[in-house]
Amino acid sequence: MNKMPGTSALVIGGSLAGLLAARVLSDYFEQVIIVERDVVHDFPEARKGQAHTRHLHGLLAQGLTILTHYFPDLHEGLMSGGSPLLDMAQSMRWYCYGGYRARFALGLKGIVTSRPFLEWHIRRRVAAIPNVTISDGYSVEKLLTSENQKQITGVQLVKAGTDSVPQHLFADLVIDAGGRGSRSPKWLEEAGYQKPEESTVTCGAGYATRIYERDASLPGNQDWVFVTPEAPHEYRAGAAFPVEHHKWIVSLGGWHGHHAPTDEEGFIAFAKSLPAPDVHTIITTSTPLSDIVSYKFPASLRRHYEKLDDFPEGYLVLGDAVCSFNPLYGQGMTSAAMQAAALDKLLQEQPGLHHLYKPYFRQIARITDIPWQTAVGEDFRFPETRGRKAPGTDLINAYMDSVHRATHHDAVIGAAFLNVMNMLAPPASLLSPRILWRVLKSIAQRRSDPHNSF
């Protein structure tokens, strides 16, 4: 453990990114304080400030690996609460591009859980760390700076929802993990710094979610189910994940206004309109346990802190506050975990906090590059998508069409795709000679007999 020259660290935001940042910081600082606007209770919940938490989330394998590194008993805790541990390829029922991906034993285990249940387990473990304190029900109003404004020295906060007298909380390092609605750009301007350049790519995503009872003894009721569109002709998707306490969490939605209604009749009709019947069958044969709730996500947003020449000491930004992707691709939690792990590595290597932001933001940019390009590249399959389109996107998407179709029958390509999807391998691995040859072979077979299963 490389102790920092300072004694205290402060994290803005008590959701997953903030909890992971606090866990990392607890190894280096004598005191770590998490400031969370919402009041936090000791049970799984979707708080007011977490509009997306009630919906289906995917924890990718890379994210699970990082989480279990910092919380070695997390597997056992989630499983004892009823979250299934599944082989991701053997338990998938994924319809895409006119067929189902072939199922096979990949040896890649995944925990299927709801976001509130996962976050509760992590929060309990972080709260149990002796030098970590969670101050909930407080809202950060602005940053405090040194006289020359070169250093962030803490935050000004108030009791949320009140006109109480502002309080000052000082720290040697402040991290903003406040999510997509981060006020860091505004706070930096107030302190005399430039706002970061932003990239925005529209996707018009929106979906609706409902919880259903699940009989785990029935065949197929331990599968995770995904029905995804063949863009640009189809816009709608649906998913059903078998989560804790014998429940299904079902989300229906799509791109550019193709959003599922929140009335029961419209919700069922939307499921029936999907290109495969699996999700519709689940919701019409299962007992609903919740209302239908909706969520809209207009655009992916990336803030380029790595491009700023001038930045205050003692301040960092992490998670969705840096980059928030279209949530239909399930990359957010894993990206936040990778950023926290990068912070950990830097703190191990750094002799102190001076100019920590420079290597930190460079590494965060490298981490977010791949999921950003993956997400917005997929969104550019739709003609309505607006934003900066990287050269070669259409060519890559055309190749990926063939990869998706090849996974209907080729487990080798399927394994390569799932490793990339889970952020365990770079996208370029799908262009390796071995995979490229198999994809080309699949294309040739399909062209020679367009009516076969290929």
Question: 98: part of which helix (H) or strand (E)?
Answer: none
Contact 289, 248 (CB under 8 A): no
Q: Is residue 2 part of a domain?
A: no
3-state secondary structure of 175: strand
Report the Cα–Cα distance between both ends of the chain, in Å, rounded.
54
Give the pLDDT score at 321: 97
354, 443: one domain: no
Q: Is residue 133 part of a domain?
A: yes
Give the pLDDT score at 1: 53
Give the pLDDT score at 454: 46
Give the pLDDT score at 5: 59
39, 98: one domain: no
Distance CA 26, CA 35 (A): 15
| Domain's final residue, options 375, 404, 426 | 375
Distance CA 76, CA 72 (A): 9
262, 205: one domain: yes
158-195 CB burial, b ≥16 within 10 A, e <16: eebeeeeeeeebebbbbbbbbbbebbbbebbeebebee
Q: Is residue 454 part of a domain?
A: no
| Domain's final residue, options 349, 375, 401 | 375
Q: Is 58 exposed, middle or buried (0-12, 13-18, 19+ CB in 10 A)?
A: buried
Q: Is residue 426 part of a domain?
A: yes
Q: How many CA atoms lie within 13 A of 400 on its CB side?
A: 21
CATH number at residue 341: 3.50.50.60
Distance CA 100, CA 405 (A): 9
Contact 79, 64 (CB under 8 A): no
State the residue for tokens 């030098």: 131
Q: Is residue 192 part of a domain?
A: yes
Q: What is the pLDDT of residues 5-48, one digit of tens each?
A: 579 999 999 999 999 999 999 999 999 999 999 999 999 888 88
What total number of domains does the chain contain? Answer: 3
155, 281: one domain: no
CATH number at residue 219: 3.30.9.90
Give the pLDDT score at 433: 96
313, 358: one domain: yes
What's the whole-model pTM score? 0.94
Q: Is residue 385 part of a domain?
A: no
164, 215: one domain: no
Q: Is residue 383 part of a domain?
A: no
Q: Is residue 384 part of a domain?
A: no
Give the pLDDT score at 49: 77
Averaged over successive runs of 10 residues, the pLDDT of the chain (454 residues) comes to 74 96 96 96 85 81 94 93 90 96 91 92 97 96 94 94 89 96 95 95 96 90 95 96 95 96 97 98 97 95 96 97 92 95 94 91 96 96 96 96 97 96 94 97 85 54
51, 176: one domain: yes
Question: 366: part of which helix (H) or strand (E)?
Answer: helix 357-379
208, 194: one domain: no
99, 156: one domain: no
Give the pLDDT score at 452: 59
Give the pLDDT score at 4: 62
For residue 314, what are the domain limits?
8-69+117-199+301-375
Using alpha carbons, select from 333, 248, 237, 322 the residue that is nearest to residue 284.
248
Give the pLDDT score at 350: 85
167 forms beta bridges with: 157
131, 255: one domain: no
| Domain's final residue, options 274, 297, 320 | 297
367, 315: one domain: yes
| H helices present in 1-141, as ranges | 16-25, 61-70, 74-80, 115-127
180, 132: one domain: yes
Give the pLDDT score at 114: 92
State the residue for tokens 């591009």: 97
